[in-house]
Amino acid sequence: GETANANAPALMPFTTFVPAATGVVTIGIFTGIVLIVRWGLSAQRRVRRTQSIASHPLKFLAPRNRGESVFLYEEQLKLPMVSMVMPVKWAAIKSRSPKENWKSQLVSMYSGSIEAIFAVESEDDGAVQVVKELQEELAHLEGVTIKVAVAGPATTCSQKIANILAALRAVSPESRYIFCMDANCKLHPGTVHLLMNELENDASVFVATGYPFDMPPENASIWAWTMAQFRYNCLSEFLSNRSTFVWGGAMVLRRADVEQNMYGLLDWWRKGGYSDDMQVQACAQDAGRMIATPLSAIFPNELKKDVTFDYCWGFLRRQNWVLFTYSSWKNWARHMTLLFLYAVPNASWLPAFLLSLASLAEAPLRPARLTEPAVAIHLAACVGFLITFHAAIAVQRRNLEAIANMCNHLSPEAQRLSLAQFTPFCLGSSLLMQSALAPAVTIANLLNTSMEWGNIRYKCRWGRVVEVQHPHSSPVRVSQSLT
């Protein structure tokens, strides 16, 4: 035994028993505890919401805090017209079934009139043909109008915002609400009424929004799971019916607010805007307005199976890059706080996991040091982290099960969602992979002021887009395009 102990340093030329390692593991523990609490609260509240939905056969169609009177004929006649604004770039869609998602958005059980405006950069976009197919397949629907708006190449903002602005120009004057959404969003039958109702009944609400429930299919790549894991972390912010986050894939605004350029929203979009939803969020927060996030506004979205590392890396970089765009110093401060939380505590999972395993493997090789208080504390922290990590995976799955069950009740006639492929290994490995990539994408964005999305390159300075370059063309400066 003494010989083995004497040889230990030769076998282990380094040691994990250092204060810095204890600090990393401790950060991992606190990060895990915070997420366990948030995921646990989310699961608890969505279980209660599901029980409420199940209490009445038609409750899945009723907005929050509304009773059976909402189904009365005279109430249905009062429902306002809603314009669905759908900025589309076919090559950039990450959903496995965008056409089915669009059908769910159009074949709604909302009794008011709906117009859907698909906005594309050019008529050559692959989405145009799919939209024409939808027009033919859904021609029998009363109260539903489908249009196509062509924006042309963006020169003063992102292409998505340019598409939104083109669609807004085609909105019917009879419409009361603008529902911006994308192809990664499968609506429930009562979603339109749900989000519109939040704006109808609370004047302090500036925007109503939801969030996607990304579901990798069976045998999906680790990179599909990593993308989904990013979404699951963000889902922890949607714990109540009011929050501070807006998702551009499903956000409802009053048409009057948009057309009157309230809080300068249209100006911020047109003049160097990159992220449509982050700008809406900034306008709401800077003006002290509320952001409605009803618990039922969670939308299933099946991801593609064969997601590659490059695709995942691009997705994470784009999600991170929006935090480098801003419209005010208060907005900048909020984004930098989010950036720190993403790049530091969130990034602690993988190093804490590896340090914990290495330290526990090293312990038998250095028995003489186990009596040292610092080493004992370090090993206790390592054990605590591994327990926290496994508990976090279990609570996360419970939360995802609660979300899936709620979605099944909100869309009772749709194919039931199954989480059979959501194994502890898939969730755990993707959580660690997402953690490993978090500081990498942050550093990459710090070193690079440009971003490519949909084959278009944007250059950003002081929070705004200053240059747009389309394929096979020279860069266009935003300042020149605005003059």
Q: Is pLDDT above 50 for 196? A: yes
Give me the pLDDT at residue 2, please.
45
Return the structure tokens found at 208: 């109503």
- 62 located within any domain: no
Give me the pLDDT at residue 95, please.
76
In angstroms, rounded to a whole number, what is the distance separating the alpha carbons of residues 284 and 277? Answer: 11
Give me the mean pLDDT over the 454-469 stretch. Answer: 93
Q: How confident is the model at residue 483 (pLDDT cuts 50, 70, 90)?
A: low
For the stretch 213-237, pLDDT in tens is 999 999 999 999 999 999 999 998 8
- 75 located within any domain: no
DSSP assignment of 31-57: HHHHHHHHHHHHHHHHHHHHHHHHTST
Give me the mean pLDDT over the 202-215 stretch. Answer: 96
Alpha carbon distances (Å) from 246 to 180, 212, 284: 11, 12, 10
Average pLDDT of the chain to the nearest whole number: 90
Q: Is pLDDT above 70 for 396? A: yes
Closest CA to 273 of 332, 323, 325: 325
Return the structure tokens found at 25: 């593991």
More confident residue, 16 or 439: 439
Q: How confident is the model at residue 67 (pLDDT cuts 50, 70, 90)?
A: low
- 318 located within any domain: yes
CB 116 within 8 A of CB 86: yes
Burial of 259-274, coded b for 16+ CB within 10 Å and e otherwise, reads: eeebbebbebbbbbbb
Give me the mean pLDDT over the 295-307 stretch. Answer: 92
Give me the pLDDT at residue 114, please.
92
Q: Under DSSP, is residue 325 helix (H, G, I), strand (E, B) or coil?
A: coil
Pairing of strands 450-453, 298-302: unpaired
Give me the pLDDT at residue 458, please.
96
- 260 located within any domain: yes
Q: Under DSSP, is residue 84 helix (H, G, I), strand (E, B) or coil?
A: strand
* 143 Rama sector, left if φ>0, alpha if ψ -120 to 50, beta otherwise: left
Give me the mean pLDDT over the 332-354 stretch. Answer: 94
Q: Under DSSP, is residue 201 helix (H, G, I), strand (E, B) or coil?
A: helix
CA 20, 26, 30, 36 dihedral sign is: positive
Q: How confident is the model at residue 97 (pLDDT cuts 50, 70, 90)?
A: confident
CB 365 within 8 A of CB 11: yes
The strand order across the sheet containing 175-181 reads 144-150, 114-120, 81-87, 175-181, 250-254, 205-209, 290-292, 242-243
Residue type, 125: D
Give me the pLDDT at residue 317, please.
95
The per-type count for the chain, helices as H runs and strands as E runs, is: 17, 14
Give me the pLDDT at residue 251, please.
96
Return the structure tokens found at 7: 């040889």
Return the structure tokens found at 92: 């950039």
Q: Is pLDDT above 60 for 3? A: no
In angstroms, rounded to a whole number, what is the distance separating the alpha carbons of residues 243 and 73? Answer: 33
Give me the mean pLDDT over the 386-392 stretch. Answer: 98
- 467 located within any domain: no
Whole-model pTM over 0.85? yes
Give me the pLDDT at residue 8, please.
46
Q: Is pLDDT above 80 for 98? A: yes
- 199 located within any domain: yes
Q: Is pLDDT above 50 for 82? A: yes
Burial class of residue 450 in the structure, from the number of CB atoms within 10 Å of its CB (0-12 exposed, 13-18 middle, 19+ buried): middle
Give me the mean pLDDT over the 359-388 stretch. Answer: 90
Q: How confident is the model at residue 148 (pLDDT cuts 50, 70, 90)?
A: very high
CB 285 within 8 A of CB 331: yes
For residue 442, the surrounding DSSP H or E stretch is: helix 424-447
Closest CA to 458 of 476, 480, 481: 476
Alpha carbon distances (Å) from 257 to 158, 177, 205, 206, 402: 21, 9, 11, 8, 35
CB 450 within 8 A of CB 244: no
In angstroms, rounded to a whole number, what is the distance separating the alpha carbons of residues 446 and 321? Answer: 9
H helices of 328-372, where? Answer: 329-343, 349-362
Q: Is pLDDT above 80 for 75? A: no
- For 235-239, the CB contacts below 8 A with 24+ separation are 235/42, 235/211, 235/298, 235/399, 235/403, 236/35, 236/38, 236/39, 236/42, 238/42, 238/210, 238/211, 238/293, 238/295, 238/298, 239/38, 239/41, 239/42, 239/45
**How many domains does the chain fold into?**
1
Return the structure tokens found at 465: 């887009």
For the stretch 248-292, pLDDT in tens is 999 999 999 999 999 999 999 999 999 999 999 999 999 999 999
Give me the pLDDT at residue 300, please.
92
The domain in which residue 309 lies consists of: 80-335
The DSSP output letter for 283 is H
In angstroms, rounded to a whole number, what is the distance separating the alpha carbons of residues 300 and 14? Answer: 47
% pLDDT > 70, the chain = 95
CB 468 within 8 A of CB 160: no
More confident residue, 415 or 482: 415
Q: What is the CATH number of the domain that holds 123?
A: 3.90.550.10
- 395 located within any domain: no
H helices of 260-348, where? Answer: 265-270, 276-286, 309-321, 329-343
Q: Under DSSP, is residue 357 helix (H, G, I), strand (E, B) or coil?
A: helix
Q: Is pLDDT above 60 for 432? A: yes
CB 131 within 8 A of CB 118: yes
- 280 located within any domain: yes
Bridge partners for 85 per DSSP: 117, 180
Return the structure tokens found at 333: 């401060």
Return the structure tokens found at 239: 């714990």
